[in-house]
Amino acid sequence: MPDVEQKYERKYGLDKALAGKRAECDGGASYPAVMPNGEMGYMPSRETFKGRLTGLYFDQGDPPWRWYELMVLEDRPPNYPDETVWCEQGFLFIFDDETGEEQR
């Protein structure tokens, strides 16, 4: 989908403070999208993924939305084809490693 990707350019960044944090994402069906390395990857909308954040994020769209990269280590939907997933900030929940509780 090169035209579409160009129209809504992504701006990537790295949040080192989030790298390695445990997180869950209320995702859903994933859709194919171009990853930072230029290969195809997947985004969630309403399925649940659990893993650790890499710290990598991108902003895209209008307002824009921010997406964080989650390495899918613990839980992913059946047949999910990848080891990482992009999670929209509004659906991302981060957990404290020591207490295991969701961070507010």
Q: Which of 55, 60, 71, 94 binds another protein (CB under 8 A)?
A: 60
Q: Which of 45, 59, 71, 82 binds another protein (CB under 8 A)?
A: 45
Q: Give first-to-last CA distance, the chain, whole Å.
A: 37
Q: How far is the CB of 22 from another protein (least distance, A)?
A: 15
- Residues 4-43 touching another protein, rule: CB under 8 A, are 4, 7-8, 26-33, 43
Q: How far is the CB of 60 from another protein (least distance, A)?
A: 6
Distance, CA of 92 to CA of 3 (rounded, Å): 28
Place of tokens 């999910």: 80
CB atoms within 10 A of CB 71: 16
**# of chain residues touching another protein (CB under 8 A):** 29
User: Does residue 63 interact with another protein by CB under 8 A?
Assistant: yes
Distance, CA of 56 to CA of 66 (rounded, Å): 10
Q: Can you say whether the dihedral through the CA atoms of 103, 13, 1, 73 is positive or negative?
A: negative
Residues found near another protein in the complex (CB under 8 A): 1, 3-4, 7-8, 26-33, 43-46, 60-63, 65, 79, 88, 90-91, 93, 102, 104
